[in-house]
Amino acid sequence: MSERNMEILSLISKCREIRDVAKKSSLLEYINQLLPKESKIKLPALITNDGIDNLLSWIEVKVSPPVYGLSTP
């Protein structure tokens, strides 16, 4: 995993701990800027805490390495 992806995952963890929606939204915007162009998200003007958490989960899936051996035959 690249250092950038590790940094993004670390920032996602920190963002989830923040309770202030404005601060959380600002960190989400910063995380979004770190993403490659094809993975960037168009962020809504107004967003809830749950909406931010959903977007963080989406980003986390995109930057995490695939996990093998979890599917059943």
> Where in the chain are the domains?
3-63
Q: Measuring CA to CA, which residue among 43, 37, 36, 30 is closest to residue 63?
A: 36
55-62: long-range contacts (C-beta < 8 A, 24 or more apart)? 55/28, 56/12, 56/15, 56/16, 56/28, 56/31, 59/8, 59/12, 59/31, 59/32, 59/35, 60/9, 60/12, 62/35
Mean pLDDT of the 51-61 span: 95
| pTM of the complete model | 0.84
Instruction: Using pLDDT thresholds of 50, 70 and 90, give the confidence band for residue 23.
Output: very high
pLDDT score for 29: 96
